[in-house]
Amino acid sequence: MKYKLPKIAVFMGGNSREREVSLKSGQAVIHTLQNLGYPVQKYDIQNNLVPFAKYPKKLWPDVVFLALHGGAGENGQVQKELEKLSIPYTGSNSNTCQKAIHKSIAKKYFQKSNLHTPKSLLLSSYWPKKIVLKLVQKELKYPLILKPPQEGSSIGLHIAQNSSEFKQALQHLSQLCNQILVEEYIQGKEFTVAILENQPLPAIEIQTPNKLFDYTAKYTPNTTNYLIHPPSKLTKQLQNAALLAHKSLKCRHFSRVDLIWNYQKIYVLELNTLPGLTQTSLLPKACAAAGISFPQLCTKMISLALQEHKRQKKSA
């Protein structure tokens, strides 16, 4: 008897600043799943977080494949709605996503697990600039990194070498978000380590000619070099730190952790619960280095979502 493939709904797009990246991720997933024979329905998620909820249940998908990045798709809102409907979906649950999306909150969980993180301050965009400057000068040292605490894809990322540059970055970010995360800049080599099924994948070193690994460096082809690091003591330390960060937030199935090594310590920068799935994305690159093709990655994500749903039904 021929195995019937599950019906897949791919959620993509959305209203976040990462919309364009999400659309590319979604198209890559749809193309791959259709070639594998899966029945696939595309949903560009806007204000209605679960569009098929209004349809009869017999028309609902068996699994929702989340190709969303940022906003409601990654902060736990979409996940929470799917949990209410008892629909399997790819990636971490709503509680984990809610913690991971906020870099300042995630940082506290990393620190509880004895992971190193850059010294930082969380500022309000509404605080008087004079008070902000005094606080920063008292607590931190230049150069500094400024970024929105709940954006991905390095959107709004700035580096300030002095107070003048800090004021300019502060002015720009105050128009972008209500809170601003300020961190001491760690000079060193930047890495990313993806986790799949509680196993760290090969570490990737990120080499960019830009000042920072920002949005342009991430999504402009041939701008950045990605080096797969061979097994070594450092690689193992990076993988261990990434896996610990993954577990500290109780992530499930997969994630991607950004780290920096200052030649003495490894610092965890942030964790992404829904990594990109575009041609330049790092999770597919790490999988390829581990001998896992993109079609295998997509089918693994679906399989893990279904297995998780079965476990939850048995324990209910």
Residue of 151, 190, 214, 258 marked catalytic: 258
- Residue 113 annotated in active site: no
DSSP 187-250: -SEEEEEEEETTEEPPPEEEE-SSSS--HHHHHSTTSSEEEEPPS-HHHHHHHHHHHHHHHHTT
CA distance 249 to 96: 6
Residue of 92, 153, 154, 281 marked catalytic: 153
Q: Please report, as a single letter, which amino acid is at residue 125.
A: S
Residue of 18, 62, 183, 214 marked catalytic: 18
Residue of 75, 93, 94, 272 marked catalytic: 272
Please give the structure tokens belonging to residue 84: 């209410």
- Residue 16 annotated in active site: no
- Residue 272 annotated in active site: yes
- Residue 44 annotated in active site: no
Q: 289, 172, 269: which is closest to 212 by C-alpha?
A: 269
CA distance 67 to 41: 13
- Residue 62 annotated in active site: no
CA distance 214 to 219: 9
Q: Please report, as a single letter, which amino acid is at residue 75.
A: N
Residue of 74, 81, 183, 270 marked catalytic: 270
Residue of 219, 248, 255, 267 marked catalytic: 219
- Residue 270 annotated in active site: yes
Catalytic site residues? 18, 153, 219, 256, 258, 270, 272, 276
